[in-house]
Structures are given as C-alpha cells and as structure tokens.
Amino acid sequence: MIEPLDDELRRLVGALREVDRPGEAARAATWAAIDARLAEGPAPRRTAARVSWPLAALAAALLLALGLAAATAWREAERASVEAVDRHSPESTPRAVEPRPLRAAESSQPATSGKPGESPQSDSSSSPEAQLDSTHAGSPESQPDSSHAGAPESQPDSSQAGSPKSQLDASQAGSPGSSAGHHASPGTEPARPAAPSRRRPTDSPSLRPEEVASFQRAQAALAAGRYDEALDALDAHGLRFAGGLFEEERQVSRATALCKLGRVDAARDARRRFLRERPGSHLAERMRQICRDDE
C-alpha cells in the first residue's frame, strides 16, 4: 500500500490538475481534425507509388491511342471536306481539286461539323474522348474505392499504419460501441458510401459540420500564410457562427492574422480584449504571445 501524498505535494498536484485541462473548443477542434483525417483515408505513399506506375503506363497508352485516333480522324475529315467542297462547288473540275484541299479544310473545319459526311469522324473522335472523360471523371471517385478495395488483396502488409478503411469499418461494425462510431457501416463492402460519413462524438451535439468546415478553411488559409484571406474567413465565420464553438480559437487566429499583416495595434487590441473577457481560457497563454516581438 502506498502512503498518501504530503500536503505540499497534494496542493501542487491539485493545481496541476486544475490548470492542465483542455477546453471544449480544443476538444471539438481536435475531433474535427481527427474526423477529417480519418475521412481522407490513410493513403500511404508506398501504395501510391505502386499504383502510380501502372496508372501512368495506362494513361500514356490512352494518350497515344487518342493521338492516333485524332490524327486519323483529322485526315478523314480533311478528305471528306475536300470531297464535299468539290461536290458542292459549281465548277467542280478534276483540276480544281488539287490546289484547294488545304485551304478548304482549314476554312471549313468548324462549319463542317453538321455535315452528314462527317458524322463517322465526329463519332470516332468523340469515343476516345468519351472514354477519357469517363476514366477521368471516374478516377477521383473510384480511385479511393479501387485503391482501398485493391490494396488489401495485393498488399496484405498490415504493419503499415495506413490500413485500408474498409477493414477498419468492418471491424467497427463488429465493435460493441459501433453505433456511436465514426464509420459505422454494418454492410461494409456493398453499402459503401461514396463520401465517407462524418460523425461527431456524441457528447458534442452543438458541433455543426458547416461550422467546422468554415473554421478549417480559415485555419488552412492562416497556416498557408494567406493572412488576408484568413482574416476575411475568420470574420465571416464570426458573423455566421456568432458565439460558436470555435469562438476562442477564432479570436486567437484573428489576432495572429492581424499581427502577421502588420496591423499590430488591432492585434494588441484583440489580445487585450480576449484576455480581459476570457482570462481563464486555455488559449490565454497562446494569446499573450501574439505580437509580442514588436513590443
């Protein structure tokens, strides 16, 4: 059995417990960030490298095929337009055909699209494009799915931190608390949603996705050094979600942006106001450091 703490140590431990406590906003922001990272998926680089080579080869082959098809189609179009010009020309003599084709093809190319003689050409040119479009359009949506679905079979290495999300979902579906879980998908593979569901912890019911997204946009601008944009976004966020969950973070970020923009007085005003209104905030220390270099 261990003895109780002496009075002095107990007092200090009590103080440390009081002081070292994260705020609700920090909690919500951390969860929002975790949720976003989980929704993005692991995407380990190794997998990306493995997948990128076959994809690059496929894309190159597709481009080559497209180029060949386009060249053939253009030649066909040229020939067809020359024949059409010849057919409709009042003085259609065999001699007149020779010098005309290039000029005729050049000048009539846009206008000849509706001619019946060119429908095969437009079909042939549109089909590779349609193929390309469909592959391109499909890739952003289907790529995560296909990579996720393909990765576990082709690469069963589970030691990598980025294990596929489908596996993770499947395990969560079986977990006892999965109803409150993040990606609770009991059907796993067949009922896989295109966009990952973004759930919040059950104990933060006031957290709105649009509020989180709005704040994250502002934070991203701030992190990227786009301080004007960050300031605008933070002001807009403040107007839209007045007194919202990220109010303290918003004020700290706003003061940071003001300071970075050289608006030192405004930053200091913001700092003073914050410390006056929220002296016990967990962000008070951070706020105190803002724009201090210039003092």
Partner 1 sequence: MHDGSIPPVLAPPAALGDPASRAHDGPEAAALPAVAELFRDHYEFVWRLTGRLGVPAAVVDDAVQDVFVVLHQRRHEFAVRGSVRALLYGITRRVARRYRERAARHVELVDEPREPAGPGLDEELARRQAAAVLRDALAGIDEDKRMAFVLADIEGMPMPEVAECLEINLNTAYSRVRVARQLLQRAIARHHARAHRRTP
State which residue, 192 or 198, has the beta carbon closest to partner 1: 198
Site string for partner 1, 260-289 (x = CB under 8 A): ---------------xx--xx---xx--xx
Q: How far is the CB of 215 from partner 1 (least distance, A)?
A: 14
Q: Contact, 227 vs 193, CB < 8 A?
A: no
State which residue, 135 or 197, has the beta carbon closest to partner 1: 197
- The interface with partner 1 within residues 143-162 (CB under 8 A) comprises 158-159, 161-162
User: Residue 202 interacts with partner 1 (CB under 8 A)?
Assistant: yes
Residue 169 has which token pair? 């979902």
Q: How far is the CB of 12 from partner 1 (least distance, A)?
A: 4
Q: Contact, 114 vs 80, CB < 8 A?
A: no
Residues 6+ apart with CB under 8 A from 186: 173, 178
Cβ count within 10 A of residue 181: 18
Angle (CA) 247 250 252, round 5°: 115
- The 8 Å CB, 24+ separation contacts for 247-251 are 247/25, 248/23, 248/25, 248/274, 248/278, 248/281, 248/282, 248/283, 249/25, 249/26, 249/29, 249/215, 249/283, 250/215, 250/218, 251/287
End-to-end CA distance of the chain: 54
User: Residue 105 interacts with partner 1 (CB under 8 A)?
Assistant: no
User: Residue 18 interacts with partner 1 (CB under 8 A)?
Assistant: yes
Which one among 16, 56, 58, 61 touches partner 1, defined by CB under 8 A? 16
- The interface with partner 1 within residues 30-59 (CB under 8 A) comprises 30-31, 33-34, 37-38, 42
Residue 7 has which token pair? 């009075």
State which residue, 115 or 260, has the beta carbon closest to partner 1: 260
- Running DSSP on this structure, what letter comes out for residue 110? T
State which residue, 240 or 288, has the beta carbon closest to partner 1: 288
- The 8 Å CB, 24+ separation contacts for 61-67 are 62/128, 62/131, 62/132, 62/135, 65/128, 66/128, 66/129, 66/132
User: Residue 64 interacts with partner 1 (CB under 8 A)?
Assistant: no
Site string for partner 1, 159-198 (x = CB under 8 A): x-xxx---xx--xx-xxxxx-xxx-x--------------
Site string for partner 1, 205-244 (x = CB under 8 A): ----------------------------------------
What residues make contact with partner 1 under the rule CB under 8 A? 2, 5-6, 8-9, 11-13, 15-22, 26-27, 29-31, 33-34, 37-38, 42, 158-159, 161-163, 167-168, 171-172, 174-178, 180-182, 184, 199-203, 275-276, 279-280, 284-285, 288-289
